[in-house]
């Protein structure tokens, strides 16, 4: 989708949320994020009522990163309330996975998407791409290790530190 199309879908979802809650767009944008999420969960819970298990659920309040978000309702946990189920629908996302692969494609030259030229006759191979896919699989493993154990995020922790697998980050000097 183009950026304008994505923004249009998000605006339609916001208008739908305004109509359901009785709030204006200005009032909705002034609400802090944690309360906004609660409002979205409450409205999502109303829309989840009657949705059959095993069916795709079109998420009613899209974001720019996932404008056509759909979630497959595989199971129904009887212990969860409607708001908890709606929260799970809101949190069901592939955004972090997409972000990781985008960073990988951007940072590893051999994994970037090839550019199609007018005189290429449909070929997509470029001079910076590898002949042997085994080399790319080795680069994937190296980048995965770097991302999980060496690269700190905004909280100055690596993903391995966040889930308790590491006490600190691994530095380049420790590897050599």
Is the predicted pLDDT of residue 131 greater than 80, yes or no? no
The predicted model scores a pTM of: 0.64
Select the more confidently predicted residue: 139 or 133.
139
| 40-44, 75-79, 138-142, range with the lowest pLDDT | 75-79
Give the CA distances from residue 95 to residues 64, 71, 102, 175, in Å, rounded to whole numbers and listed in that order: 11, 13, 10, 31
Nearest-5° Cα angle at 90, 97 to 145 = 20
Helix (H, G, I), strand (E, B) or coil at 43: helix
pLDDT above 80: residue 104? yes
Report the percent of the chain where pLDDT is more than 70. Answer: 93
pLDDT value at 44 more than 80: yes
Average pLDDT over residues 41-56: 87
Bridge partners (DSSP) of residue 58 are 70
pLDDT surpasses 80 at 49: yes
Span 109-126, average pLDDT: 70
Task: Using the predicted structure, report yes or no on whether residue 117 has a pLDDT greater than 80.
Answer: no
């Amino acid at each position: 989708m183009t950026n304008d199309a994505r923004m249009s879908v998000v605006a339609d979802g916001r208008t739908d949320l305004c109509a359901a809650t009785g709030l204006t767009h200005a009032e909705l944008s002034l609400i802090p994020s944690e309360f906004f999420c609660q409002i979205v969960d409450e409205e999502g819970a109303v829309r989840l009522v009657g949705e059959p298990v095993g069916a795709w659920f079109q998420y009613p309040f899209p974001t720019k990163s996932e404008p056509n978000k759909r979630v497959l309702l595989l199971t129904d946990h009887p212990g969860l309330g409607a708001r908890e189920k709606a929260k799970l629908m809101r949190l069901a996302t592939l955004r972090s996975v997409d972000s990781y692969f985008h960073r990988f494609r951007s940072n590893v030259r051999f994994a970037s998407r090839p550019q199609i030229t007018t005189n290429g006759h449909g070929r997509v191979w470029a001079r910076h791409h590898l002949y042997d896919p085994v080399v790319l699989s080795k680069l994937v493993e190296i980048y995965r290790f770097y991302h999980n154990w060496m690269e700190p995020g905004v909280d100055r922790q690596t993903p391995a530190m966040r889930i308790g697998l590491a006490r600190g980050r691994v530095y380049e000097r420790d590897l050599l």
